Amino acid sequence: MPTIEISKKDLEKLAGRKLKNLADELENAKAELENQDGDVLKLDIKDTNRPDLWSVEGIARQLSKDKGCPNYKVKKSKYVLDVSKKVNRVRPRIAAAIVKGIKVTDDLIRELIQLQEKVALTFGRKRKEAAIGVYDFDKITWPVLYTTVSPHGIRFVALDMTAAMTPLQIMAKHPKGREFAYLVEGYEEFPLIIDRAEQVLSMPPIINSNHTGKVTEKTKNLMVEVTGYDDKFVQASLNVMAAALADRGGKLEEVTINYDNKEIIETPNLAPKKAKVKIETIQKLAGEDLKPKEIISLLRKARYNAKQVGKLIEVEYPAYRQDILHEVDIVEDVLIAYGYNNFEPEVPKLAVHGEETELEKFSRKVREIMVGFGAQEVATFTLTNKDNLFKKMNITEREFERAVEIENPVSSNWSCLRNWLLPSLMDFLSKNTTKEFPQRIFEVGEIVKINPKAETKTDTLKRLAFAFSNLRVTFTNAKQTLEALGICLGIKFTVKESEHSSFIAGRVGEIRAKGEIVGVIGELHPRVLEGFGLSVPVVGFELELNKIL
């Protein structure tokens, strides 16, 4: 969720009106007022798919006294940006705009950097899909060329540096170079923007040059450029930047992008986009009999142009809105303009009856019986590690069964999903060695087992594990509990001696019911106790509830 800082004074000036109920008004721009410190508003913008809202200009547009689709004029111009076919192998698309006659202040520079960073970070996926450069237009000699250069092929002074360096040196030495080097990893040549006078503008998506790529209070005219892979991101990002600068009083001019004479386009393209929406769709979805006139007025408030054509509303909306894919996107804007809290909530009338799953009902029954036996229920994490599952349990993963393993764990402590439950209880006991005994605990919890035949290659199963730790406990204590549970559930459990190195040989058995093996019971092996740092004996069992349901 992008967080931005803006000036309230600035916001009201741009919106052309006073904002009385600030927090409420901001909701219309999906902005949440995090805090207010004098004139500075800190906002969380909830819509991660609307970069046009991530600036004071964008918020102001949404709350403006003006209605209807904002109209941005883009002057034709003679400025050309040539694109070499060499960039096809690295970063193929570019779009650019010229902004003239803008008053550059410290505040504006800060605003600009904030918007540029937010758009490139969140919408542009950390500059991968959209990297943005802003330049001092008056230092550029046209035409400009977007091409590639070998890692040692040129030397220039990168932004905020003093010495000229090769692209490779910049990757190694400049903070931004190091941060974003992974974006050009594996490229034989790096993207480069250079002008007719052989002055480097920038090395996208990494860094601007210090000469043309530095904007100061002395700058009068700007050039903005966006590079990436897909015009959907590239042009949308440019439109967001261009619209914000135009709202500040900048005069927009086109740049002709010439893709090796094969494709020639002019950017930015801020002509409003068109769409249609059925009046009935709006009314049905809203659940409110909104009249066409009212809908049109709401749409204009949401910065659309709208007119009724028969059963349809035809709309025009600003080019920076790339999020509108379907009628429902327009409907939401109508609902927001109407005010969510102005609707009368109504519980759906459906003939339904509530129900838990059979497994859940059964689990609760088991849990209640276990509580009746005087056991304390515990809840543990399903994430664990191989040490707990295998090593400390005195078994090997190979002889037991493989566990689901996470590739990018936050910590190696939580790098596996458990494939049996008793280790969780042992781990729990290990955290309570100084507490009062007896400790009689149980958990009904989920485990994940590998199943190559299943759609997800795993089965999620519910199990009951019980552990009883006291100075004098024996196998009998565990078996008594198991048998009592069987009586309560009306299931006949039998125990057949088996082998399992987590338990003492001759004091472990498999539990059978309904003709299959459903669990294991025994006295935990002292090596297991040692592994978990326990010095009080433990007996226990584990049962698969799915099998005895």
Partner 1 sequence: MTDIKKIAEMLQDNEIVVLKSFKKKSADRIREIKSLKPIEFLRAGMWLENKGLIKTTKIKKKFATLDILGKRYVKASLPEIKLIALLKKGPKTLEQLRRFLSADELRFALGYLKKRSAININKGVLSITSYGRSTKITLEGKFLLILAQKGELALDNIEPQDLHAYLELKKRKQLVKEVEKQEISFKITELGKQVAENVPSGRRIGLITPAIIRSGDWKKQPFRRYDVEAGVPAIYPGKKQPYLAFLDDARAKLVELGFKEMNGPLIETEFWHFDALFQPQNHPAREWTDTYTLKYPKQGDLPKNKKQLAAVKKSHEGSWLYSWNPEKARQLTPRAHGTALSARWLGQGCQDGKYFAIARCYRPDVIDATHAIEFNQVEGIVVGDGLTFRNLLGTLKQFAIEFAGADKVRFLPDYYPFTEPSVQLDAHHPEMGWIELGGAGIFRPELTNPLGCKKPVIAWGLGIDRLAMFKLGIKDIRYLFSTNIDWLRKEKVV
Binding mask 31-70 for partner 1 (x = CB under 8 A): -x-------------xxxxx--------------------
Residue carrying structure tokens 């764990």: 409
| 383 near partner 1, judged by CB under 8 A | yes
Q: How far is the CB of 435 from partner 1 (least distance, A)?
A: 5
3-state secondary structure of 165: strand
| 347 near partner 1, judged by CB under 8 A | yes
Cis? peptide before 438, omega within 30° of 0: yes
| 435 near partner 1, judged by CB under 8 A | yes
Residues 391-410 that bind partner 1 (CB under 8 A): 402, 404-410
| 380 near partner 1, judged by CB under 8 A | yes
Between CA 267 and CA 319 the distance in angstroms is 12
Q: How far is the CB of 450 from partner 1 (least distance, A)?
A: 7
For partner 1, the closer CB: 12 or 32: 32
Residues 456-475 that bind partner 1 (CB under 8 A): 456-460
Q: How far is the CB of 332 from partner 1 (least distance, A)?
A: 4
Paired strand residues for 512: 494, 517
Residues 230-269 that bind partner 1 (CB under 8 A): 230, 232
The C-alpha angle 221, 242, 180, rounded to 5 degrees, equals 90
Sorted by sequence, the CB contacts under 8 Å of residue 82 that are 6+ apart come out as 143, 144, 145, 146, 258, 260
Question: 209: which DSSP letter?
Answer: B
Residues 127-156 that bind partner 1 (CB under 8 A): 129
Between CA 309 and CA 529 the distance in angstroms is 78
Q: What is the 3-state secondary structure (H, E, C) of 491-503?
A: CCCEEEECCCCCE
Q: How far is the CB of 309 from partner 1 (least distance, A)?
A: 22
Instruction: Pick the binder of partner 1 from 162, 344, 471, 472 (CB under 8 A).
Output: 344
Residues 437-456 that bind partner 1 (CB under 8 A): 439-441, 443, 446, 448, 450, 452, 454-456
Locate all alpha helices (DSSP H) within 456-502, ordered by sequence: 475-489
For partner 1, the closer CB: 309 or 325: 325
| 387 near partner 1, judged by CB under 8 A | no
Instruction: Tell me phi and psi for residue 303, to 5 degrees.
Output: 70, 40
| 88 near partner 1, judged by CB under 8 A | no
| 350 near partner 1, judged by CB under 8 A | yes
| 354 near partner 1, judged by CB under 8 A | yes
Between CA 127 and CA 124 the distance in angstroms is 5
The C-alpha angle 81, 84, 88, rounded to 5 degrees, equals 120
Q: Which stretch binds partner 1 (CB under 8 A): 180-188, 203-211, 430-438, 504-512?
A: 430-438
Instruction: Tell me phi and psi for residue 111, to 5 degrees.
Output: -55, -50
Give the torsion sign (CA, 318, 323, 325, 326): negative
For partner 1, the closer CB: 158 or 467: 467
For partner 1, the closer CB: 103 or 326: 326
CB atoms within 10 A of CB 73: 9
| 343 near partner 1, judged by CB under 8 A | yes
Instruction: Pick the binder of partner 1 from 188, 381, 497, 516 (CB under 8 A).
Output: 381
Identity of the residue numbered 285 = L
Question: 52: which DSSP letter?
Answer: G
Q: How far is the CB of 90 from partner 1 (least distance, A)?
A: 17
Q: 58, 60, 47: which is closest to 19 by C-alpha? A: 60
Q: How far is the CB of 442 from partner 1 (least distance, A)?
A: 9
| 82 near partner 1, judged by CB under 8 A | no
Binding mask 359-378 for partner 1 (x = CB under 8 A): xx---x--x--xxxxxxxxx
Residues 273-332 that bind partner 1 (CB under 8 A): 284-288, 325-326, 328-329, 331-332
Instruction: Pick the binder of partner 1 from 164, 336, 488, 489 (CB under 8 A).
Output: 336
3-state secondary structure of 43: strand
